[in-house]
Amino acid sequence: MLATPGPLPTGGDWAYEVKWDGARALVHLPGDGGVLLTSRTGRLVTDSYPELGALAVPGLAAVLDGEIVALDETGRPDFGRMQQRMGLTRPAAVRAAARAYPVTLMLFDVLRLGGRDTTGLPYTERRELLERLPVDVPQAAVPPYWPPGLGRVAMDWTLDRGLEGVVAKRVGSRYEPGRRSREWIKTKHVRTVEVRIGGWVPRDEGERALRSLLVGVAGAVGLRYAGSVGTGFSERESALLAELLRPLDTPAPPFEDSGGIEVEQPVRWVRPVLVGEVEFLEWTRGGRLRAPVWRGLRGPPEVVPY
DNA sequence: TAGTAGGGGCCCAATTTCAT
DNA sequence: ATGAAATTGGGCCCCTACTA
């Protein structure tokens, strides 16, 4: 069951949970002391997270839903660390990564318990089952939730702690396996930043539309490259931007450190006079925008000191 | 060593399904 | 029949592993 993105729902029948920034996983506990983990796409990922073998409780047969996260020293999920765990299969590599960045499983739902399908039960009843589970290991947690009426509180609380956002769940809803449902609504804390366009990748030879924008933010001595943005603009905006960018052509990258930019596609550099707004999740360790979305041009084109 | 592939996520646009 | 909602497909981003 997947959440639909949207504004925070309010009203008497929504409960709220933290939106954990990691990798979604289903935990299969056959009851014989084994553990199997599957990813959102159904891939078997057990071998990548050996420490989660600790979840096995002899006699407990269940299927649970949760998010695998790699917490930093402050207890906040660090997606960069998580990425260093995902996809690893070589035992030596897995061991080394597990020692450096151990993961925790945040459990938030029960799909089967003791051979019984629990997906038909309402959210609140599944939560009760979840909280009564005899899973008591440091590698797993059952984070609390906020009852109806406290949606704003949940948003403020998660914002204060630098968490990604909130997932609202309708208290009477059943679990819908494999589906994206409106009974779960995810609301992210979005950040925006003002950027200058320093280059672009045309969609084709005609250069009448764009594939992506290369943007920068104010750096120490000039424009610092912040990554490329490939979504958020409609067909119309794409055409308009291409039209505005074509006359701004310049031979060299306008960024202060052009060495770090790796683009295999044909890039057109431009004088960085166009200012726009980009919505993004967070800054990566390398100073790039994570999950950037173009939100539009801001203000008139300006003559800039770069 | 360089290039390719794949996982996770996001959005737009097109298509299909569902309601009125 | 018509419009809205849901689903699917295609791109792009970030990061790392795998392959040649």
Query: Does one domain contain both A95 and A196?
Result: no
Structural domain boundaries enclosing A108: 2-188
Residue A227 resides in a domain: yes
**Dist. CA A140–CA A64, nearest whole Å:** 11
CA–C1' gap, A180 and B18, in angstroms: 16
Domain total in chain A: 2
Query: Does one domain contain both A117 and A213?
Result: no
Residue A167 resides in a domain: yes
Residue A303 resides in a domain: no
Domain end point (choices A155, A188, A221): A188
Nucleotides of B under 7 A from a protein CB: 4, 6-14
Residue A237 resides in a domain: yes
**Percent of the residues in chain A that have a pLDDT greater than 90, as a whole number:** 7
Residue A165 resides in a domain: yes
Q: What value does the mean pLDDT take over residues A219-239?
A: 76
The residues of A between 253 and 282 with beta carbon within 7 Å of nucleic strand C are none
Which residues of A are annotated as catalytic?
A: 19
Q: Per-residue confidence at A259, pLDDT binned at 50, 70, 90?
A: very low
Q: What is the CATH number of the domain that holds A256?
A: 2.40.50.140
The first and second tokens of residue A130, run together, are 């979840």
CA–C1' gap, A139 and B18, in angstroms: 44
CA–C1' gap, A74 and B20, in angstroms: 52
Query: Does one domain contain both A113 and A214?
Result: no
- The candidate with the shortest Cα–Cα distance to A15, out of A124, A109, A107, is A124
Highest mean pLDDT range out of A58-62, A222-226, A269-273, A274-278?
Answer: A58-62
Question: What pLDDT does A305 receive?
Answer: 45
Q: Mean of the per-residue pLDDT values for chain A?
A: 80
Query: Does one domain contain both A167 and A18?
Result: yes
Query: Does one domain contain both A32 and A131?
Result: yes
Domain end point (choices A137, A162, A188): A188
Answer whether any strand C atom is within 7 A of the Cβ of A230: yes
Contacts of A21 (CB under 8 A, 6+ apart): A69, A77, A79, A82, A163, A164
Residue A263, pLDDT above cutoff 70: no
Answer whether any strand C atom is within 7 A of the Cβ of A137: no
Answer whether any strand C atom is within 7 A of the Cβ of A293: no
pLDDT tens, residue by residue, A292-305: 778 777 765 554 44
Residue A21 resides in a domain: yes
Query: Does one domain contain both A173 and A285?
Result: no
Residue A208 resides in a domain: yes
Q: State which amino acid sits at residue A182.
A: R
Query: Does one domain contain both A44 and A109?
Result: yes
pLDDT tens, residue by residue, A79-118: 777 777 776 766 767 777 787 788 888 888 898 899 898 9
Answer whether any strand C atom is within 7 A of the Cβ of A224: no
Of residues A264 and A113, more confidence is placed in A113
Q: What value does the mean pLDDT take over residues A232-252?
A: 80
Answer whether any strand C atom is within 7 A of the Cβ of A95: no
Q: Give phi and psi for A119, each to the nearest 5.
A: -65, -20
Query: Does one domain contain both A131 and A110?
Result: yes
Question: What pLDDT does A258 receive?
Answer: 53
Instruction: Using the structure block, give the residue that is written with the tokens 């006359």.
Output: A247
CA–C1' gap, A68 and B19, in angstroms: 38
Residue A121 resides in a domain: yes
Query: Does one domain contain both A42 and A174?
Result: yes
* CA closest to B6 C1', residue: A87
Question: What pLDDT does A125 receive?
Answer: 94
pLDDT tens, residue by residue, A153-186: 888 888 888 788 888 888 888 887 776 777 888 8
Question: What pLDDT does A130 receive?
Answer: 93
pLDDT tens, residue by residue, A2-60: 777 777 888 888 888 888 888 888 888 888 888 888 777 666 778 788 888 888 888 89
Q: What is the CATH number of the domain that holds A166?
A: 3.30.470.30
